[in-house]
């Protein structure tokens, strides 16, 4: 009998487990553009356009490969506008009662599929290197889950950059080489842009009319929407930007939003590229002597280490993960995150580029927007919704552990042993933001003092009971305690006043 084969918008891989288990002669592929997915957080228009256009292209690819595809367009009059609704509609039309799906990367959708009256088989998503059960076995009995140890297992498992049982270059991790600032360089290669084709143009017009008012610019739209585009983006990165990836990984420049980053996360997360092929390409560049070991190792660690690790955490921690709030933070998300004016140049730039291109690199997300939200005590659920909405690559399995865990420490240390907080000095060292800022990064108090300098100590003081005993933070408390008492009082009072202005919606 005919079965329905569900292919979601981030499952655009021809070797997807659901497709491998299906028979093109009898089964029907179901793909659906639905309002429910476009709106449950206010996604950036470029992200919606990317997903819809990539889905439409992928449906063509499947048809070309001999599949029958029932494709629901967003503006089809009969569209029920939800994934379970579309499955039910296709089931009623065809008489099918069984659905095969690859497990979605989000608890919300898993639960929605399980709740349909259809017989749904959820297959593991084996596009990842580490399965949920393998991760659970690795985590079993460990007091703390540390990415570094998980990563070494993944290196052994894949054999990437290994010489026998030892890591190539004699070290697992070359991160100490990857903490350099960068200088503006007009010759730095720019990531490729892909001109919209007719399918994308149609989608852009649709997004413009159906999702007005979402934060972010829709045009110019330059993301790749097919596997061929994604491979071209990978090739461009590996041939041009990769050699400097390591050195520039943590740097921020206000006129160069992408530096030597890969900009391939959306393609990986949609399934247009697989993690192993990306890492094999990077490893081959290193083997051929074209890129230094710190660049290749650092990059591969992000993919087979961090990316797989956070996915393992998401499924291990369970559906309530996004509601965690260990530090009890409850501030509303300040309007500056949606583009309201701020005098803080680093935030204004990071948010501005996010609106323009739906992209910011890791250190901008972690040490500018994330750091500020954590220091200011913003409710982590609101921070999570923001990151899920505004970035081109944001899907809950990867976004939530990065936001709730790594960035906001709301999971109480599952992802990170200590919170990622810093004063303005870190931002000043790693970027060129501070020179153009109305605040003075060197001033520790007073009307011109950089707000990060005030809030850093304010945060540490608020959470002293929790963190003073952490060996990796004890030094900061000792530094604070040695400061002049009057200075400490002033810093805390000015921090209070800054937060009060933030709450009142006054310009900051
Ligand atoms: P590069 O810097 O070139 O890195 C290469 C690849 O490594 C990326 O494409 C990505 O696939 C992988 N990678 C790197 N760091 C991580 C990480 N911490 N977790 C998982 N994969 C990683 N990444 C997402 O893919 N989706 C998200 O929704 C997302 N939300 C984030 C939220 C916060 C608060 C933070 C701090 C980080 C988040 N990240 C997220 C991780 C990281 O910032 C992005 O993967 C990266 O910026 C993507 O751009 P790139 O391809 O140029 O990456
Ligand atoms: Fe950001 Fe402070 Fe530097 Fe201004 S001075 S750019 S607020 S770190």
Q: Which ligand gives the minimal distance to the CA of 275?
A: 1
Residue 104 has pLDDT above 90, yes or no: yes
Cα 362 to ligand 1 centre (Å): 6
pLDDT grade for 434, boundaries at 50, 70 and 90: very high
Provide the sign of the torsion angle of the four alpha carbons 498, 503, 506, 508, taken in this order.
positive
Q: Which atom of ligand 1 is nearest to the CA of 245?
A: 3
Cα 373 to ligand 1 centre (Å): 18
pLDDT tens per residue, range 322-374: 999 999 999 999 999 999 999 999 999 999 999 999 999 999 999 999 999 99
Q: For the chain, what percent of residues have pLDDT higher than 70?
A: 100
Q: Whose CA is nearest to atom 5 of ligand 2?
A: 441
Cα 465 to ligand 1 centre (Å): 32
Q: Which atom of ligand 2 is nearest to the CA of 440?
A: 5
pLDDT grade for 152, boundaries at 50, 70 and 90: very high
Cα 221 to ligand 2 centre (Å): 30
Cβ(306) to ligand 1 under 6 A?
A: yes
Cα 114 to ligand 2 centre (Å): 48
Cα 95 to ligand 1 centre (Å): 42
Q: Whose CA is nearest to atom 2 of ligand 2?
A: 450
CB hemisphere CA count around 484 (13 angstroms): 6
Measured between alpha carbons, how far is residue 36 from residues 32, 175, 320 in Å? 11, 41, 21
Please give the Cα distance from 353 to 391 (Å, whole number).
Answer: 11
Q: Whose CA is nearest to atom 8 of ligand 1?
A: 265
Mean pLDDT calculated for residue range 148-153: 97
Residue 176 has pLDDT above 90, yes or no: no
Residue 440 has pLDDT above 90, yes or no: yes
Q: Which of 94, 56, 54, 57 is nearest to 75 (CA)?
A: 56
Cβ(428) to ligand 2 under 6 A?
A: yes
pLDDT tens per residue, range 63-85: 999 999 999 999 999 999 999 99
- What is the per-residue pLDDT for 179? 85
Q: Whose CA is nearest to atom 41 of ligand 1?
A: 362
Cβ(424) to ligand 2 under 6 A?
A: yes
- What is the per-residue pLDDT for 39? 86
Across the chain, what does the average pLDDT equal? 97
Interhelix angle 132-139/308-317, rounded to 10 degrees, is 80
Cβ(434) to ligand 2 under 6 A?
A: yes
Print burial letters for 421-452: b (CB count within 10 Å at least 16), e (below 16). Answer: bbbbbbbbebbbbbeebebebeebbeeebbbb
Q: Whose CA is nearest to atom 18 of ligand 1?
A: 306
Q: Whose CA is nearest to atom 13 of ligand 1?
A: 302
pLDDT tens per residue, range 22-66: 999 999 999 999 999 988 899 999 999 999 999 999 999 999 999
Q: Which atom of ligand 2 is nearest to the CA of 424?
A: 8
Q: Which of 23-37, 178-192, 200-214, 327-341 shows the lowest per-residue confidence on average (mean pLDDT)?
A: 178-192
Cβ(47) to ligand 1 under 6 A?
A: no
- What is the per-residue pLDDT for 40? 87
Cβ(452) to ligand 2 under 6 A?
A: yes
Cβ(371) to ligand 1 under 6 A?
A: no
Cα 440 to ligand 2 centre (Å): 7
Mean pLDDT calculated for residue range 376-399: 98
CB hemisphere CA count around 93 (13 angstroms): 11
pLDDT tens per residue, range 244-279: 999 999 999 999 999 999 999 999 999 999 999 999
Burial class (CB in 10 A: 0-12, 13-18, 19+), 62: buried
Q: Which ligand gives the minimal distance to the CA of 346?
A: 2
**HEC string for 104-166:** CCCHHHHHHHHCCCCEEEEECCCCCCCCHHHHHHHHCCCCCCCHHHHHHHHHHHHCCCEECCE
Cβ(404) to ligand 1 under 6 A?
A: no
Cβ(394) to ligand 1 under 6 A?
A: yes
- Pocket test residue of 441, 453, 495 for ligand 2, highest count of atoms within 8 A of CB: 441
Please give the Cα distance from 336 to 333 (Å, whole number).
Answer: 8
List CB contacts of 472: < 8 A, sequence separation 6 or more. Answer: 417, 418
Q: Which atom of ligand 1 is nearest to the CA of 275?
A: 11
pLDDT tens per residue, range 446-492: 999 999 999 999 999 999 999 999 999 999 999 999 999 999 999 99
Mean pLDDT calculated for residue range 164-183: 91
Please give the Cα distance from 107 to 117 (Å, whole number).
Answer: 18
Largest CA distance in the chain: 79
Residue 178 has pLDDT above 90, yes or no: no
Q: Is 331 helix (H, G, I), strand (E, B) or coil?
A: strand
Asked if ipTM goes beyond 0.90, one says: yes
| Domains present along the chain, CATH in parentheses | 4-123 (3.40.50.620), 132-193+225-309 (1.25.40.80), 335-504 (1.10.579.10)
Q: For the chain, what percent of residues have pLDDT higher than 90?
A: 97
Q: Which atom of ligand 2 is nearest to the CA of 428?
A: 3
- What is the per-residue pLDDT for 228? 98
Q: Which atom of ligand 2 is nearest to the CA of 441?
A: 5
């Amino acid at each position: 009998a005919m079965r329905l084969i569900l292919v979601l918008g981030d499952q655009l891989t021809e070797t997807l487990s659901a497709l491998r288990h299906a028979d093109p002669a009898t089964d029907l592929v179901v793909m659906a553009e639905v309002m429910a997915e476009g709106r449950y957080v206010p996604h950036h228009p470029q992200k919606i356009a990317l997903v819809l256009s990539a889905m439409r292209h992928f449906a063509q690819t499947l048809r070309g490969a001999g599949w029958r595809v029932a494709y629901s367009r967003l503006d089809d009059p009969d569209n029920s506008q939800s994934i379970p609704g579309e499955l039910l509609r296709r089931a009623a039309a065809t008489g099918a009662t069984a659905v095969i799906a690859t497990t979605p990367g989000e608890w919300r959708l898993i639960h929605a599929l399980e709740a349909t009256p259809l017989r749904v088989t959820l297959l593991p998503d084996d596009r990842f290197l580490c399965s949920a059960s393998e991760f659970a076995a690795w985590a079993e009995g460990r007091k703390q889950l540390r990415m570094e140890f998980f990563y070494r297992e993944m290196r052994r498992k894949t054999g990437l950059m290994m010489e026998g049982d030892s890591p190539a270059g004699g070290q697992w991790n070359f991160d100490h080489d990857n903490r350099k600032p960068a200088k503006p360089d007009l010759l730095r290669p720019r990531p490729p842009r892909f001109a919209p084709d007719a399918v994308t143009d149609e989608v852009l017009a649709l997004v413009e009319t159906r999702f007005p008012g979402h934060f972010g610019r829709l045009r110019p739209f330059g993301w790749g929407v097919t596997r061929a585009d994604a491979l071209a983006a990978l090739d461009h990165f590996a041939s041009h930007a990769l050699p400097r990836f390591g050195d520039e990984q943590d740097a921020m420049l206000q006129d160069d939003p992408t530096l030597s980053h890969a900009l391939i996360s959306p393609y990986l997360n949609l399934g247009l590229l697989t993690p192993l092929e990306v890492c094999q390409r990077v490893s081959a560049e290193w083997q051929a002597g074209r890129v230094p070991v710190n660049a290749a190792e650092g990059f591969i660690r992000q993919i087979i280490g961090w990316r797989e690790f956070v996915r393992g955490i998401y499924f291990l921690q369970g559906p309530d993960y996004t509601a965690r709030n260990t530090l009890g933070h409850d501030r509303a998300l300040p309007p500056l995150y949606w583009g309201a004016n701020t005098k803080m140049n680093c935030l204004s730039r990071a948010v501005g580029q996010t609106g323009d291109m739906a992209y910011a690199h890791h250190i901008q997300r972690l040490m500018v927007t994330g750091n500020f939200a954590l220091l200011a005590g913003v409710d982590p659920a609101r921070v999570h919704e923001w990151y899920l909405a505004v970035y081109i690559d944001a899907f809950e399995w990867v976004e939530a552990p990065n936001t709730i865990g790594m960035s906001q420490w709301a999971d109480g240390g599952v992802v990170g042993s200590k919170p990622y907080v810093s004063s303005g000095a870190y931002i000043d060292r790693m970027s060129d933001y501070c020179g153009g800022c109305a605040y003075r990064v060197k001033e520790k108090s007073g009307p011109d003092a950089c707000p990060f300098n005030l809030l850093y100590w304010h945060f540490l003081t608020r959470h002293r009971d929790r963190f003073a005993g952490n060996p990796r933070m004890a030094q900061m408390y000792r530094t604070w305690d040695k400061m002049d008492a009057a200075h400490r009082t002033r810093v805390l009072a000015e921090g209070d006043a800054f937060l009060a202005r933030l709450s009142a919606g006054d310009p900051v």
